[in-house]
Amino acid sequence: MTARAPRERPLAHQALLLAAATGTAQVLVAVLYLLAARGVEPAEFGATVSAIALGTAAAGFIDFGTNNHWTRELARKAMPDQLFEDRLFSKLVYTITAAGGWALLCLLFLPQSHVWLAGPITAALVINQAYQVRLRSAARGELVALVILCDRVAATMLFAGMSLAGVDAPVALWAALTAGSLAAAVIARRLGGVRKGGIRPRLTNPWSGAHFFGLGVVANSAQALDLTILSAVAGSTAAGVYGAVNRWTQPMALLAAAFSSALAPYAARSSTLSEAWGQLRRALWMPLGAIGVSIAVFFAAPFVVDLLLGRAYEDSSATLQVLALVVIPSIICQPLVVILQSFKRDRFVAGVMITAALGQLMLVLVLGGSSGALGAAQAALAAQIFILLALVGGTIHLGRSTLKE
């Protein structure tokens, strides 16, 4: 039995708090990386951050959509507490075992390498994110935002303390990030409700039922390979032109992601599509506002690129304009994905995402070779338009099917 949760906040409030917390967390991490890089040889710093990146990617692979799947099932009250505790316990046991084994083997056979650091980073991230599931499923986005902030604030304080104590900056960086995630996991567990009497968990398959969620995540991650492919087919100059601006649309995407994250438990509780639409409509101004910002970026791109990057990157302005258009269907697609997955259309969503990812990467091979950075941006736009049309079609089909039931 869990402690009774306080009354949940409105969807828009939760989304705003999540966006603010995530944005602040990203700034703090950027500051930590900046401070850790100062006074350290690039080779040493690069080895450390590469290991951190490897651990972060491994955490996503190990999760393989389980957190999103559990959030949906708990919100719909379709997963008994015993089953959730079994799967949570199992994922943590398997993760800690795998991460510990990786670290040990690397220390034994690659003692001069930093790749062993991926082990503790992976374990800490998986534990932290897994303990947020109860809060997310209970529509307590404001508490998830608090956990996210606690994670990075704790990491910042620990990094500062270790730096003052004379610890090497790269060591302080990975240790602070690991400890911050573990501290946030403890807080998330307490906020999620400490179990009284308890259920003795048992080992089971934690990924059961989540494979289509996982395939969708993998397909989405694969789209990030566009820069690598562009560099191979068009050279480093084209990659530089593209890479200089391809992250500038993240603030709009961040707001849409926070909105979709807050929407997930509400959509999962809905019995009909019209009921889910009623929940979404209450905070519709948020994705519409993000679309408005994207349109503004489209028109301001030539001036902004010239001001921030200089004339050497003037070709980036057209690329940024196309990428600003890419964000618009992406903003619309994110809540559609949440709604379709909430109504157990995760297999359909995974199929759409895999098809779009493969199509985009193939288009980058063709268009990137002929048009450089602009071609890669056009490939991303084509993929997002395909996703939008497919998801709209799937949502219409879902609406018709629920009316017949």
Is 210 within 8 Å of 83 (Cβ atoms)? no
Averaged over 340-356, what is the pLDDT? 91
- The domain in which residue 245 lies consists of 215-404
> Would residue 270 count as lying in a domain?
yes
- Looking at the fold, whether 150 and 241 belong to one and the same domain comes out as no
Q: Return the structure tokens found at 150.
A: 């606690």
50 vs 198: which has the higher pLDDT: 50
Predicted TM-score (pTM) of the model is 0.83
Averaged over 167-178, what is the pLDDT? 91
Cα–Cα distance for residue pair 233/242, rounded to 1 Å: 13
- Looking at the fold, whether 183 and 225 belong to one and the same domain comes out as no
Q: How many CA atoms lie within 13 A of 383 on its CB side?
A: 29
Is a pLDDT exceeding 50 seen at residue 370?
yes
- Looking at the fold, whether 250 and 183 belong to one and the same domain comes out as no
- Looking at the fold, whether 40 and 127 belong to one and the same domain comes out as yes
- Looking at the fold, whether 116 and 264 belong to one and the same domain comes out as no
Q: Return the structure tokens found at 266.
A: 């509400």
Residue 63 Cα distances to 67, 186, 211, 302, 393, angstroms: 7, 19, 10, 40, 29
230 vs 356: which has the higher pLDDT: 356
Cα–Cα distance for residue pair 382/51, rounded to 1 Å: 33
- Confidence category of residue 7, pLDDT binned at 50, 70, 90: low
- Looking at the fold, whether 142 and 266 belong to one and the same domain comes out as no
- Looking at the fold, whether 219 and 182 belong to one and the same domain comes out as no
Question: What local confidence, expressed as pLDDT, does residue 164 receive?
Answer: 92
Q: Point out the least confidently predicted range of 131-135, 216-220, 330-334.
A: 216-220
14-67: pLDDT as tens digits? 888 888 898 888 888 878 887 887 767 777 777 888 788 788 888 888 999 999
Residue 130 Cα distances to 147, 217, 352, angstroms: 12, 16, 26
Q: What is the chain's mean pLDDT, rounded?
A: 85
> Would residue 210 count as lying in a domain?
no
Is a pLDDT exceeding 60 seen at residue 197?
no
Question: What local confidence, expressed as pLDDT, does residue 5 receive?
Answer: 46
* Residues in CB range of 12: below 8 A, 6 or more apart: 282, 283, 285, 286
Is a pLDDT exceeding 50 seen at residue 177?
yes
Cα–Cα distance for residue pair 176/32, rounded to 1 Å: 9
- Looking at the fold, whether 56 and 182 belong to one and the same domain comes out as yes
- Looking at the fold, whether 147 and 251 belong to one and the same domain comes out as no
> Would residue 201 count as lying in a domain?
no
> Would residue 203 count as lying in a domain?
no
Question: What local confidence, expressed as pLDDT, does residue 90 receive?
Answer: 95
Number of separate domains in the chain: 2
Question: What local confidence, expressed as pLDDT, does residue 3 receive?
Answer: 44
Averaged over 220-227, what is the pLDDT? 76
56 vs 314: which has the higher pLDDT: 56
- Looking at the fold, whether 344 and 247 belong to one and the same domain comes out as yes
Percentage of the chain lying above the pLDDT 70 cut = 93
63-118: pLDDT as tens digits? 999 999 999 999 989 999 889 999 999 999 999 999 999 999 999 998 888 889 98
Reduced to 3 states (helix: H, G, I; strand: E, B; else coil), residue 255 is helix
Averaged over 323-347, what is the pLDDT? 90
> Would residue 209 count as lying in a domain?
no
Question: What local confidence, expressed as pLDDT, does residue 230 receive?
Answer: 84
- Looking at the fold, whether 182 and 259 belong to one and the same domain comes out as no
Question: What local confidence, expressed as pLDDT, does residue 404 receive?
Answer: 58
> Would residue 85 count as lying in a domain?
yes
> Would residue 198 count as lying in a domain?
no
378-405: pLDDT as tens digits? 999 999 999 999 999 999 988 877 665 5
Question: What local confidence, expressed as pLDDT, does residue 39 receive?
Answer: 66
Question: What local confidence, expressed as pLDDT, does residue 1 receive?
Answer: 41
Question: What local confidence, expressed as pLDDT, does residue 134 receive?
Answer: 94
- Looking at the fold, whether 244 and 128 belong to one and the same domain comes out as no
- Confidence category of residue 194, pLDDT binned at 50, 70, 90: low
> Would residue 112 count as lying in a domain?
yes
